[in-house]
Amino acid sequence: MSGGRWGSRIGTLLGAVLLAAVPAGVLASSASADRLIVGYRDGVGAARRASAREAVDGKLVGRLPALSADVVTVPAGDGADALAELRDRSGVRYAERDVVDRVASVPDDPGFGSLWNLARIGAPTVWDRITDSSSVVVAVVDSGVALTHPDLAGELWHNPGETGGGREDNGIDDDHNGFVDDAVGWNFHDNDNDPSPNHPHGTHVAGTIGATGDNGLGVTGVAWRSTIMPVGAMGPDGTGYRSDIARAFDYAASNGARIVNASLAGTGRSDVYRDVMAAHPDTLFVVAAGNDGSDDDAVPITPCDEDVPNLICVAASDRADRLADFSNYGATDVDIAAPGVDILSLFPDDTLGVMSGTSMATPLVTGVAALTLAAHPWLTTTELRDAVLAGARRLPSLDGLVATGGRLDAPGAMAAAGDRVAPSTPAITAPAGDGWSAGAPVVRWTAAADDQSGVAGYDVDVDGRRVGSVAAGTTELALPALPDGHHSVIVTARDGEGNRAPSAARAFATDATAPVPPAPRTPGARARVRRGALAFAFAPAADATSGLRGTGVLLDGRPVALDAFGRPRLRARLAEGAHRWSTTAVDNAGNAAASAPVAFTLDDRAPTVSLAGARRLRVRGGTVAVTRRTDEASRATVELVAGATAARALHLPVRGRSARLGSTTVRLGTAPRTLRLRVARDTLRRLALLRRVKLRVAVVATDGAGNRRSVVLAGRT
């Protein structure tokens, strides 16, 4: 151990009840008066308190407002009678001596030790998971802490209400907590805002809890990154009033400390300790069992033996995991053991020193509790205490000596604190379970909740295969492309500790393939159609996956309704000319397809036909020739017809007052064309015998749309 001005103080410092309590008042000398702490019942006002003091010739020297208690001095030697008198008064809840305890020490050889204690409790294993407990404020109620020590300066608590903008030393109680300029804590022993050390004990304890790790300096605390609140309560001689300690406890808890390390102990029990700890159920108080080698169950030690649920009392163990020979024990009142022999830590003059005692074991428990709470911030104080104790390593050497029968174990505490409750179950809201999706849908679900480690994210599995994960706060995921068909999706919520809550499976179906649209049949490509004959006909559509929802027809790019015969139902008359039509199909997943468009012409105008020829028709070579002209391509039927009289002369059967001598069917274009009709030989012979027979040529032209036009050329042979 390094020497320096603390050399004479090296040894095992057992935090005796460093009880100092007097608010803004001035401490009276214990040599000339007996100091008492008087706790009053609710509703007892200043007049009744003054009456109680007068009854015992007492003088008010301080107050503990948070505990409804006063510090009173009575003439020296009158303490016992005054206590009896006060306890009999109806307004007094309790009265006890404001004890002055001295630090009890076990001599120890100077020298540097090793950090065997951290290895023994498994701290390096926990460091793989977490080293930063800066989110947890840990108060060290002790002899002050070296505020500028390079291994602690970056770990100290700074009061946000008294820090910045010159508030540190402006002489004003900026945060209205009753303490002026308490920027880095408070010293209740000296009643000022400087919690610097007057003894190495507090700095040694703080170093074990949270000396900066991995910085190449000094030692490593249990929690490398800490927020340590220095609260002075003991004097340079290792003594302090119980009332000061109670006020220190109240200050620490009231200003945000989740854990208070109190490496101190005193004999008997204390109502003021019990009350102040009970008043702060959200703060865990970690205290020393004492260094008298005695049974705390038989000889009470305070605050170790106080009956409050937010307290851990710590015994000291040695390198062999046996109870240290100086350590107090107690199968009921002492909770756990921790290494407390030859513990190397910080000293105020930037050096290191070795100490032993339950005071050295206590900060190990505090440090593990801080790491455990930082890793599991949802823990209540009761749950945190239970985790530290449940994680203890059970050892035969400690069985019956401490309540857990075990020694502190950091991995065990971390495991015991784990969140084993799964988050609430998410419910899938999309896709719908009774329909088809076109391709990969978006999966949506309700948010899960977790009161402990919180929801960390969600995993989405389709058909038993992980397809994606999202962080908490996101409740949807677009699925990747999936094969057509039926699928099943499950959304699983994960909390911060890895507990999982899968949703009910949601069945859904995907179909990313468009259907085969109907094949257009009529009107065919380049067809000419009369308006009255316009009707659409097509082959059936097909969809092999989700099935067809419907088919339709587009006329000139717009949907058109059809009647039962395929005829379009149009609100306006369809103009003659060129048009296009196509078919459409939609499947049950919403995929749509359309056929290639088919061009057709709407034509309601009959072709015009003109014939050229003489009024005298000549039959030559068995044929009659006529010349025809038309304005569009058409199919023409040409007939040579004789009247009834001529027909009888020609011995031809008469039908409808005429007889047909010959006919032909031809394709006509727009250019003039000479048509020749062949006449039967017998008919030609008879015609040759007759003169001036009345004949006519009839031409019926039909265009592609079926429109017809008839013309007749009459003449004589």
E strands along 365-431, which residues? Answer: 393-394, 406-407, 428-430
Place of tokens 């009659």: 624
**How far is 262 from 185, CA to CA, in rounded Å?**
15
CA dist., res. 715 & res. 709, Å (int): 20
Distance CA 543, CA 554 (A): 20
Distance CA(646)–CA(638), nearest Å, equals: 19
CA distance 186 to 254: 13
Cα–Cα distance for residue pair 140/187, rounded to 1 Å? 11
Q: How far is CA 38 from CA 24, 92, 277, 306, 355, in A?
A: 17, 7, 17, 18, 36
CA neighbor of 155 nearest in space, from 187, 131, 129: 131
CA distances from 339 to 42, 208, 314, 317, 406 (A): 43, 11, 10, 5, 11
Residue 318 host element (H or E): none
Task: End-to-end CA distance of the chain: give it in Å, rounded.
Answer: 152
Single-letter code of the amino acid located at 570: L
Give the neighbor-by-neighbor strand order of the sheet with 658-668. Answer: 658-668, 634-643, 694-703, 708-716
Distances in whole angstroms, Cα of residue 57 to Cα of each of 72, 98, 320: 10, 17, 55
Q: Helix, strand or coil for residue 510?
A: strand
Tokens 């010349």 correspond to what residue? 627
* CA atoms of 201 and 687, how far apart (whole Å): 152
Q: Angle CA(340)–CA(398)–CA(131) in degrees, nearest 5?
A: 50
Burial class, 290, CB count within 10 angstroms (exposed 0-12 / middle 13-18 / buried 19+):
buried
| Long-range contacts, 391-399 (Cβ 8 Å, 24+) | 391/415, 391/416, 391/417, 392/336, 395/321, 397/320, 397/321, 397/322, 397/323, 398/317, 398/321, 398/322, 398/323, 398/337
Q: Which residue type does 192 have?
A: D
- Active-site residues, by number, are 142, 201, 359
**Structure-token pair, residue 42:** 């609710």
Segments of 417-497 assigned E as strands: 428-430, 436-437, 442-445, 455-462, 465-471, 476-478, 485-495
Q: How many residues does the chain have?
A: 717
Quick check: 281 and 368 in contact, CB under 8 A? no
Asked if 86 and 38 count as a contact pair (C-beta separation under 8 A), the reply is yes
Strands of 253-410, DSSP E? 259-262, 266-267, 284-288, 301-302, 311-317, 336-339, 343-346, 352-355, 393-394, 406-407
Taking Cα atoms as reference points, which of 609, 611, 604 lies closest to residue 634?
Answer: 609
Exposed, middle or buried, 294 (CB in 10 Å: 0-12/13-18/19+)?
Answer: middle
Contacts of 338 (CB under 8 A, 6+ apart): 117, 121, 314, 315, 316, 317, 361, 362, 364, 365, 407, 408
DSSP state of 156: B
CA distances from 164 to 183, 196, 278 (A): 9, 20, 33
Measured CA to CA, the distance from residue 524 to residue 596 in angstroms comes to: 12
Hey, what's the torsion of the CAs at 288, 294, 297, 299, to 10 degrees?
-100
